[in-house]
Structure 1
Amino acid sequence: MSPQLLFQLHLVLGYVAWLLCFGTYVWPKLRSMAPFDAQRAIATLHSFRFFGLAFLLPGVVGAQLPASFAAFAAYGDFATGLLAMLALLTARIRPLFWSLVVAFNVIGMVDLLLDYYHATAVDLPAHSGELGALYAIPIIYVPVLAITHVAAFYLMLRPRFKRLRVVAAVSQDISNV
């Protein structure tokens, strides 16, 4: 099996495994939590994204890892991790906490999307061996980060969805009268 195919297979299976785990164990718990507590749990996971700076460490990644990919991924993760930590540190100041929750989720999701774009542009699967010790990040860690960003956005918008459903139900009841 070619390194490109193996990397792509690992990536897809990383998403499948995390979606199965998330759907069975994490999502039911997050949905049952108060919005503040759920977002705090998600921020805690993302606070470890400072680890992405390791993409810049010679010897941890290979010298042939495209620098354009490594630098962008490292600093995007670092920014997201700092914003998540700031959100956790400001939990007692709710308006600031919620602003930072929005910020780390927007920055984090944009970072992941742009990382996928850069990975495609530099043909990262062909250079996957250059990820060295960090091979597990795109295969194991990135899928759960992407999934939790989507969950965070859903949970932030959920009260609006509930209001829309109530308004739609009331409108339907009124029209049936």
Structure 2
Amino acid sequence: MSIEAIFGLQLGFSLLVVALIARAYVAPWLSTLSLHSALAVLVIPHMFRHVGMSFQVPGLVGADIPGDFAAAAAYGDLASAALAVIAFLLLRARAAVAIALVWVLNLVGFFGLLNALRQAEAIPQLGVTWYIPTFIVPVLLVTQIMMFVLLARALRSNRNCERQVPAE
């Protein structure tokens, strides 16, 4: 089996397992929480995205890792981690801007992950950082999808409430 096939198998299997756990245990529990509290829980794994800076450490990755991939993944993850910490603190404080910041975090983080995953030429050079896209990224993707669902429901709910208010 090729390295790329093993990578795809591990990534896919991890996505499946994380999605099953999220569906069976995490989503039902989150449904009992307020929007701010549920989002705060889902932001937690993203506060650890600083681990992506490992792509910049010689010896952890292969010498021929594409520089564009390594820099974009490392600094994109660091920016996402910083946004996640700020979003977490604002969500816990129930700040009005917290929901908007979660949208920003989710969009920046989600498209950053998708961009990194599409760069298959980096796979053979991942070295010991292999665990990041095959284990951590599935957790991040699933929690981001869950955040998108919660944010979309809240947006839809707010729009429905606005429609029901009689005009003066």
TM-score range, shorter chain: 0.7 to 0.9
**Residue correspondences, number:** 162
Return the offset for 1:16: 1.0
Alpha-carbon distance in structure 2 between the residues aligned to 1:161 and 1:89: 25
Q: Report the Cα distance in structure 2 between the residues aligned to 1:47 and 1:164, rounded to whole angstroms.
A: 30
Report the Cα distance in structure 2 between the residues aligned to 1:163 and 1:28, rounded to whole angstroms.
22
Equivalent residue number for residue 153 of structure 2:
158
Map of 2:122 onto structure 1: 124
- Identity, % of aligned pairs? 33
TM-score (normalizing by structure 2): 0.86
CA gap of 1:22–1:133, structure 2 versus 1, over 3 A, is same
1:6-37 CA deviation, whole Å, 9 max, x = no partner? 11111111111111111111111122211000
Unaligned runs of 5+ in 2: none
- Aligned mates of 1:116, 1:56 — CA distance in 2: 17
For the Cα contact (< 8 Å) 2:117–2:133, is it kept in 1? no
Match of 1:94 in 2: 95
Q: CA RMSD in A?
A: 2.2
Deviation at 1:116, TM superposition (A): 2.2
Bigger fraction of residues in helix? 1
Q: Indicate conservation of the 8 Å contact 1:87/1:101, yes or no.
A: yes
Which one-letter code corresponds to 2:122 in the other structure?
Answer: L
Q: Choose 1 or 2 for highest CA Rg.
A: 1
Per the alignment, residue 19 of structure 1 pairs with: 19
Which structure 1 residue ranges, 5 or more long, are not aligned? Answer: 171-177
Partner SS for 1:94: coil
Instruction: Say whether residues 1:46 and 2:56 are aligned partners.
Output: no
Q: 1:54, 1:155 → 2: CA distance?
A: 31
Aligned to 1:147: 142
Alignment deviations for residues 34-65 of structure 1 (CA, whole Å, 9 cap, x no partner): 10001111122111111111110111112122
> 1:116-139 deviations in whole A, cap 9, x for unaligned?
23x14xx234x1xx2122111111
Q: Deviations over 1:97-124 (max 9, x none)?
A: 223212211111111121123x14xx23
Partners of 1:135 and 1:162 in 2: CA distance = 40
Partner AA of 2:52 in structure 1 = G
Give, in whole Å, the separation in 2 of the partners of 1:84 and 1:17.
24
Please say if residues 36 and 94 of structure 2, whose CA atoms lie closer than 8 Å, have aligned partners that are also in contact: no
CA distance in 2, matches of 1:8, 1:60: 21
Q: Relative to 1, partners in 2 of residues 1:165 and 1:97: Cα closer, same or farther, differing over 3 Å?
A: closer
1:160 to partner: Cα distance: 3.9
Using structure 1 for the length normalisation, give the TM-score.
0.82
